[in-house]
């Protein structure tokens, strides 16, 4: 189950410190155990390891956190399931430290025990910091059908912080949480896919970097953590436009396979419009199923710069000065405006659009906090009048 043939020096030392501390504080935890007429030599029980770790430090926040910490050791072979089959689980399952793999392993000396006691707080803090990522990797390696509700929440929380998914709705991110798969490659130079091949998956870089290579041009750009690639071939059903080559060792990816991409994301990508200035997206819109009164297509703002969101609002809202059938966009704007723009910013920007903003002001005034908004508007009018004269 572990991925690396040789554990890192730091994690190998962490495993030794934790084993020595257990032998000093709770030696009964490491012993021969019988199960179904078979004896398992010098092993621990998963639930007992979690119990023990939670009691050692306040930085171990939950049992789930402790599971991730032991999983970090298991990934590198410092701790192993006795049958080499399972990730770490908070269950009555047997695990063995690397130092106990050999028969008749000597007990730690007094000096070793003392050193381990001194190092224990720092060791627990170190493993506590890497535990959540290890837990996430373990969950992502499960097949979608094996993921629990708690698993899906952990994946969803991770997806919220990935910049490549920033334009997607939370509903889409929750759907992705149930299908996204973890993929890792150990060596720089590994080719993930070649130019001209059929597109089968979309990738997001979770750790590491890759080079984008085009025949006759060589490396055209480098992608880093949080970037994505492979989407174009899936959206257009065309061959891969470039090759992707690992730029460094030990790269981690989140992968969405074609069938899931088409089911969840293809329509989203086809219905997404990105306005760019100087190669940067300043406004991301998604086609709305709700048509305007005039029958034209409406777009919902997904993300953008405050000024661009306001411009889009003024350009697309249906100005109904009689208030008989106000556009729902007005209420949407009033509810969300305070999130991305203070009234003190809004008023000057509205007046900068004068006279096109008059109908917008007539619709906004009854809905805003009238006194503060009106006061700021008057102040902005004074400033604009002073500038013009």
Give the Cα separation of 20 and 189 in Å (integer): 40
Tell me the pLDDT tens digit for each residue of 33-55: 988 888 889 999 999 999 999 99
Give the Cα separation of 90 and 83 in Å (integer): 16
In which band, very low, low, confident or very high, does the pLDDT at 170 lie, cut at 50, 70 and 90? confident
pLDDT mean over 249-258 = 94
Same domain for 244 and 309, yes or no, is: no
Q: Which residue has the higher pLDDT, 128 or 170?
A: 128
Same domain for 237 and 285, yes or no, is: no
- Is the confidence at residue 251, as pLDDT, over 60? yes
Tokens of 333: 């704007």
Same domain for 166 and 114, yes or no, is: no
In which band, very low, low, confident or very high, does the pLDDT at 348 lie, cut at 50, 70 and 90? low
Residues 6+ apart with CB under 8 A from 263: none
Number of domains in the chain: 3
Spatial CA neighbour of 192 closest among 244, 148, 136 = 244
Same domain for 262 and 330, yes or no, is: no
- Is the confidence at residue 237, as pLDDT, over 60? yes
Same domain for 119 and 200, yes or no, is: no
- Is the confidence at residue 172, as pLDDT, over 60? yes
Q: Which residue has the higher pLDDT, 265 or 89?
A: 89
Same domain for 253 and 158, yes or no, is: yes
Do the domain assignments include residue 46? yes
- The beta strand positions in the chain, using DSSP E, are 31-35, 38-45, 79-81, 94-97, 181-185, 191-193, 201-207, 210-214, 218-223, 228-229, 243-246, 251-257, 272-277, 280-288, 298-304
In which band, very low, low, confident or very high, does the pLDDT at 191 lie, cut at 50, 70 and 90? very high
**Residue 34 has what pLDDT?**
86
The CATH number that applies at residue 378 is 1.20.870.10
Q: Which residue has the higher pLDDT, 162 or 386?
A: 162
Domain stops at, among 220, 252, 268: 268
**Residue 279 has what pLDDT?**
60
Domain stops at, among 206, 236, 268: 268
Do the domain assignments include residue 54? yes
* Residue 317 belongs to domain spanning: 271-388
Do the domain assignments include residue 218? yes
Q: What mean pLDDT is reported for the chain?
A: 80
pTM: 0.65
Same domain for 123 and 14, yes or no, is: yes
Tell me the pLDDT tens digit for each residue of 209-219: 999 999 989 99
Tell me the pLDDT tens digit for each residue of 98-133: 888 877 778 888 999 999 999 999 999 999 999 999
Domain stops at, among 244, 268, 292: 268
**Residue 99 has what pLDDT?**
86
Same domain for 205 and 288, yes or no, is: no
Same domain for 180 and 218, yes or no, is: yes
In which band, very low, low, confident or very high, does the pLDDT at 318 lie, cut at 50, 70 and 90? very low
Same domain for 275 and 258, yes or no, is: no
Do the domain assignments include residue 135? no
* Lowest-confidence pick of 19-23, 305-309, 384-388: 384-388
The CATH number that applies at residue 216 is 2.60.120.10
Q: Which residue has the higher pLDDT, 25 or 330?
A: 25
Neighbours of 116 (CB within 10 A): 21
The CATH number that applies at residue 125 is 1.10.10.10
Same domain for 298 and 256, yes or no, is: no
Q: Which residue has the higher pLDDT, 311 or 211?
A: 211
Tell me the pLDDT tens digit for each residue of 350-379: 666 545 555 555 555 555 554 454 554 455
Same domain for 187 and 277, yes or no, is: no
């Amino acid at each position: 189950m572990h991925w690396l043939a040789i554990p890192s020096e730091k994690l190998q030392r962490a495993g030794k410190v934790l084993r020595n501390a257990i032998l000093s504080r709770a030696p009964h935890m490491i012993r021969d155990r019988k199960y179904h007429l078979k004896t398992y030599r010098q092993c621990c029980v998963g639930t007992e390891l979690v119990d023990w770790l939670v009691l050692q430090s306040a930085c171990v926040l939950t049992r789930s956190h402790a599971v991730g910490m032991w999983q970090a050791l298991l990934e590198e072979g410092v701790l192993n399931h006795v049958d080499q089959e399972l990730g770490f689980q908070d269950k009555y399952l047997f695990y063995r430290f690397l130092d106990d793999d050999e028969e008749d392993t000597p007990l730690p000396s007094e000096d070793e025990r003392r050193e381990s006691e001194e190092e224990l707080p720092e060791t627990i803090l170190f493993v506590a910091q890497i535990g959540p990522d290890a837990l996430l990797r373990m969950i992502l390696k499960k097949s979608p059908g094996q993921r629990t509700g708690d698993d899906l929440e952990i994946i969803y929380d991770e997806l919220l912080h990935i910049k490549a998914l920033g334009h997607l709705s939370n509903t889409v991110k929750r759907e992705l949480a149930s299908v996204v798969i973890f993929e890792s490659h150990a060596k720089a130079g590994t080719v993930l896919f070649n130019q001209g091949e059929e597109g089968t998956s979309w990738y997001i870089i979770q750790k590491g970097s890759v080079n984008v290579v085009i025949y006759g041009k060589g490396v055209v750009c480098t992608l880093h953590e949080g970037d994505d690639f492979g989407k174009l071939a899936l959206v257009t059903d065309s061959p891969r436009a470039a090759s992707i080559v690992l730029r460094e060792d030990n790269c981690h990816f989140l992968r969405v396979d074609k069938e899931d991409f088409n089911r969840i994301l293809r329509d989203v990508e086809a219905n997404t419009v990105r306005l760019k200035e100087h190669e940067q997206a300043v406004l991301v819109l998604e086609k709305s199923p709700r048509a305007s009164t005039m029958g034209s297509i409406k777009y919902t703002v997904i993300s953008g710069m405050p000024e661009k969101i306001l411009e889009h609002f003024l350009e697309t809202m249906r100005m109904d000065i009689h208030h008989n059938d106000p556009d729902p966009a007005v209420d949407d704007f009033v509810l969300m405006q305070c999130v991305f723009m203070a009234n003190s910013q809004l008023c000057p920007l509205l007046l900068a659009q004068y006279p096109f903003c008059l109908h917008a002001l007539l619709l906004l005034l009854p809905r805003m906090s009238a006194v503060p908004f009106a006061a700021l508007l008057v102040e902005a009018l004074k400033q604009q009048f002073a500038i013009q004269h």
